[in-house]
Structure 1
Amino acid sequence: MRKDQRHWSFKRFFHCEGRENCPTFQFFSSRAFNPKKWSPIVIGLLVLFVFLDAILFSIFKPATDWAPLWVGGQLSWTSPRLAYDTELVSALQVPLVGATSDRPFVYPPSALLLFAPLSTLSFPAAFLLFSVLSVALFARAARPFKPQPLLLLVAPPVVLAILAGQPTILVVALILFGLAQLDQKEGWAGVLFAMAAMIKPPLLLLAPIALAGGGYWRALLTAGATATAIGGASLAVFGLDAWLAWLSALPAFKVLVTEFEPLLRNAVTPYAMFVRMGLPPYFATACAALVVIPIAWLSFAKTRDMRIRLVTLAGGALLLSPYAMNYELAALAPAVAALRLERIRDLIMPAIWAVSLFVTVSLVGLLAVYAWAVVQLVSRWHDAAVPTEADTICLRT
């Protein structure tokens, strides 16, 4: 493979020989940034997205979710175990974002390897640096999907995740890089998936099944080795107490999610929906598992379409996870922004996905995108199974 034909590399990302050869320049100079080439359908969706973004900026205070990450990072320098003391972490956030309810640090100690260095900066500086780097990597990683760049960056779930200071954007960028490299540099893909999983494990719940379905055994091996190395590094730096404190804090966090109405209302999972309806929540998880596990396996075994793989991997994980909030819909943004928007009906699914943030039924938006991916997977599988006319002639002869 020639150098100029590679999908991406860190060297090409940071060092471009002429802007015409720079993938980042090509991304931001595409037709999506030329209003003269926008179709009325794209303009309509863009107007909807910007309108919803304005609502988000009017009702959400920036960096509210970055506060527990920054505070947890600071505490890890002195006593990592205290990062999982919900009362202490919540109290230390008051000078940063004002009076809040319980806002625990819930990420594993492996994530502190990222947040601890950032916490050495001031709160605003750390938030700004983390946001800029996350968006830059996200935009670059999404390029193989060929999305409409402007739609991608102003999509309400993406804006919400950035505004809140969630690491979702960074984690999704790592997943996108991994998907792009899976059929070329399988080992590196496993490394990237493991890095993402050690920051936000729920989004990678289905990764082992998906990789096994596609026969990506080298990726599985390198992912396991990388996860072990990162876990070992966090154990050496923060100690066993930090991991024990995290495991001890998980039951309390589960109670907080299931009993605190604002969190429950903004959750995106079937588990949370069943809790709200007073139904057995684990029944929802079991039903979801019966669907998303075989779909994840088949999507990596039967197609190389990265949009389908992303939705069935990350979207399926959200359907399976007990806890995930509405900003996690940003994980599906590259697939949504890459849709062909040519007819009015093409607006239905992206509109449902975006509007569902505001009507306390974000699960509907997730299901809409996931159903699209499943339909695409089945149709491609069917097309591949039906012999063409040329195949029929060859068989007859």
Structure 2
Amino acid sequence: MSQPDTSLTDRLWALTSDAGRLRRVSIVLALLFAAILAADTLLADGSVNMRGEHLGGDFLAFHTAGEMVLEGRAVDAWDAARFEAALQEREPAIEWYGLTWQYPPAAYFLVTPFALLPYKVAYWAWMLAGLAVFWGCFRAAFGDRIEGKAAPLLILASPIILVTLVQGQNTLFFGGMLMIAAALPGRRPVLAGLAAAVLTIKPQLGLLIPVAYLFGGHWKAFGCAATFSLALSGLATLAFGIESWSAFAGAVSRVEADMAGGGSLYPFNRIISPYGALGALGVPHGIALSVHMLTVLALAALVALAWRSTAPMQAKAALLIPATLLCSPYAYYYEMVPMLFSIAVMISMTGIRNLNAPERWWLMLSWPLVLYLPLVQGAVPVQFGFVITASLVALIAIRLKSASAAAPAPAY
């Protein structure tokens, strides 16, 4: 009796489509990660870990900026030399940190409370708060269709979440805001507008939201976003002075100059935008930036068409998120966290066992690859983060076109 032929694709898919197996792998991965990170924290000498590197990645910059606010030196943080000096004051064991502060003044409202805590405690509070905010936003954006006790584990133990935690980045907070702003302008416009306003603290994550709201006709969400943004900026100006905005503009200009000069502080192999992908291949700055801007116009047009359509709101939001990530020339790989929402929507539209071949291969290859992006990108010129994000835009756009053709009326 002949045995049924099982292809390599089927074998690989069997490893990823079984919920029980995924749950067990997620538990092991999460426990292993937590144990390693706990050991790294406990054995660290101050903010320097066993490898002689600063513990918490970019969180050290956030904690230091918050301390400078408490010391009355908020404006100094935007000066690269003074910020490096502040880092050396707290831990001179590392010769040069190379961390900078280039967030708008309102970002101090997020980081300063954590500066009230000792560094190690603050780092863990930052991670746990980020996970709580991200999961709460994911639940609110995705709605009541999340089933099973494994859902939080499968999301929060995903490789891109772990990478973000190691980096100490703030994307769990702002990625959560992006999901809310993208998914809820119809059902909860005030909340969506508030989330969009918070994204002005990390404006690269909100570049296409005005396009989506305008072409989708979400005027209440648009108005709330504009009002809350002005209020947030006004509070920041009152708190940190008008001079904080000129200092912030100077810091942004230095980032742009560094990138135009080849990216010594902000390496191209960590940037997932078209500009970063071309820069990693050695394409000159002017050409890379021109191609990037043309791509942004194409993405804006795609989002406009999608949000004018009758496709379900979640499908529109799933497209908006990865398209937004590609628009900022300086978006790093850890910004890919909110794409978990897009992946969940893509799966939910047909069920995980009914994904087509391109979607299956994308999921099988992309899900684990992001865990190794920081290591892989230093060895190869191809920017895999860009490939993953751009291909997700394409897959969602195809699904959205089908959903739009089938839908008789807008979802909300």
Q: Same fold (TM over 0.5)?
A: yes
Correspondence 1:247 to 2:243 = no
Could you say if the C-alpha distance between residues 262 and 375 of structure 1 is closer, same or farther in structure 2, counting changes exceeding 3 Å? same
Q: 1:76 to 1:189 in 2, by over 3 A?
A: same
Counterpart code for 2:289: Y
Following superposition, the deviation at residue 52 of structure 1 comes to 11
82, 85, 89: which one aligns with 1:88: 82
- Does residue 133 of the first structure (1) align with residue 129 of the second (2)? yes
CA drift at 1:83: 0.9
Residue 240 of structure 2 aligns to which amino acid in structure 1?
F
Q: Which moved more, 1:342-351 or 1:200-209?
A: 342-351
Structure 1 unaligned segments of length 5 or more: list them: 1-37, 387-397
Structure 2 equivalent of residue 369 of structure 1: 392
Instruction: Give the AA of the match of 1:160.
Output: V
Q: Call closer, same or farther: CA 1:244–1:373 in 2, change over 3 Å.
A: same
Aligned to 2:361: 348
Q: What RMSD, in angstroms, separates the aligned Cα atoms of the two structures?
A: 3.1
Aligned partner of 1:40 in structure 2 is 18
Counterpart code for 2:268: L
What amino acid is aligned across from residue 341 of structure 1 in structure 2?
I
Q: Distance in 2 between matches of 1:53 and 1:288?
A: 41
Q: How far 1:291 moved relative to its partner?
A: 2.0
Q: Against the structure 1 CA distance between its residues 62 and 101, is the aligned structure 2 distance closer, same or farther, given a 3 Å change threshold? A: closer
Report matched runs for 1:158-237 at 5 Å.
158-195=161-198, 197-237=199-239
Residues 1:330 and 2:330 aligned together: no
Distance change >3 Å, CA 320–CA 180, structure 1 → 2: closer
Contact 1:70–1:119 (CA<8 Å) still a contact in 2? yes
| Higher alpha-carbon deviation: 360-369 or 321-330 | 360-369
What is aligned with 2:59? 66
- 2:47 aligns with none
Secondary structure of 1:333's aligned partner? helix
**SS of alignment partner, residue 324 of structure 2:** helix
Sequence identity percentage = 22
Q: CA deviation at 1:177?
A: 3.0
- 347-356 or 233-242: bigger deviation: 347-356
Letter in 2 for 1:128: W
After superposition, the Cα gap between the structure-2 partners of 1:290 and 1:174, relative to the gap in structure 1 and judged at 3 Å, is: closer
Q: Displacement of 1:254 after TM fit?
A: 2.2
> Which amino acid letter does the alignment assign opposite residue 271 of structure 1?
Y
Quickly say closer, same or farther: Cα 1:292–1:75, change in 2 above 3 A.
Answer: same
Q: Distance between the aligned counterparts of 1:306 and 1:63, measured in 2?
A: 37
Q: Give the letter for the 2:18 counterpart.
A: P
User: Matched residues in 2 for 1:366 and 1:54: separation?
Assistant: 27
Contact 1:303 1:377 in 2 (8 A): no
Give 1:223 deviation, angstroms.
0.7
Q: Which amino acid aligns with 1:310?
A: A
Partner of 1:311: 318
Deviation at 1:309, TM superposition (A): 3.0
1:261 and 1:50 map into 2 onto residues whose CA distance is 35
TM-superposition CA deviations, 1:106-129 (whole Å, max 9, x none)? 111111122123212222222222
Q: Which amino acid aligns with 2:329?
A: P
Residue 373 (structure 1) shift:
1.1
1:53, 1:368 → 2: CA distance? 31
Cα gap change, 1:180 to 1:205, in 2 (>3 Å): closer
Given that residues 68 and 90 in structure 1 are in contact (C-alpha distance below 8 angstroms), is that contact kept between their aligned partners in structure 2?
A: no
1:287 offset after TM fit, Å? 2.5
1:127 maps to a residue whose letter is Y
Paired with 1:343 and 1:184, the residues of 2 have a C-alpha distance of 29
Q: 1:329 to 1:61 in 2, by over 3 A?
A: farther
Q: Calculate the TM-score normalised by the size of structure 2.
A: 0.75
Q: Provide the secondary structure at the position in 1 that maps to 2:169.
A: coil
Q: Distance in 2 between matches of 1:116 and 1:39?
A: 43
Q: How far has the Cα of 1:244 moved from its partner?
A: 0.4
C-alpha displacement at 1:175, in angstroms? 2.6
Per the alignment, do residues 245 and 53 of structure 1 end up closer, same or farther by CA in structure 2, a change over 3 Å counting? farther
Counterparts of 1:52 and 1:259, CA distance in 2:
33
Give the aligned length: 348
What SS does the corresponding residue of 1:311 show, helix, strand or coil? Answer: helix
**Structure 1 contact 198–227 (Cα < 8 Å) conserved:** yes
Question: By how many angstroms is 1:190 displaced?
Answer: 0.8
Q: Partner of 1:79 in structure 2? A: 73
Change (3 A) 1:372 1:42: farther
More displaced 10-residue stretch of structure 1: 137-146 or 328-337? 137-146
Change (3 A) 1:250 1:261: closer
Closer, same or farther: CA 83–51 of 1 in aligned 2, 3 Å: same
Q: Distance in 2 between matches of 1:65 and 1:247?
A: 21
Is the CA contact 1:49–1:155 (under 8 Å) kept in the aligned structure 2?
no
Give the direction of change, closer, same or farther, for the CA distance of 1:48–1:353 in structure 2 (3 Å limit): farther
Partner of 1:284 in structure 2?
291
Give the Å deviation of 1:204: 0.3
Q: How far 1:299 moved relative to its partner?
A: 2.8
**1:68/1:105 contact within 8 Å kept:** yes
Which structure shows the bigger proportion of residues in helix conformation?
Answer: 1
Q: Please give the alpha-carbon distance, in whole angstroms, between the structure 2 residues aligned to 1:343 and 1:251.
A: 48
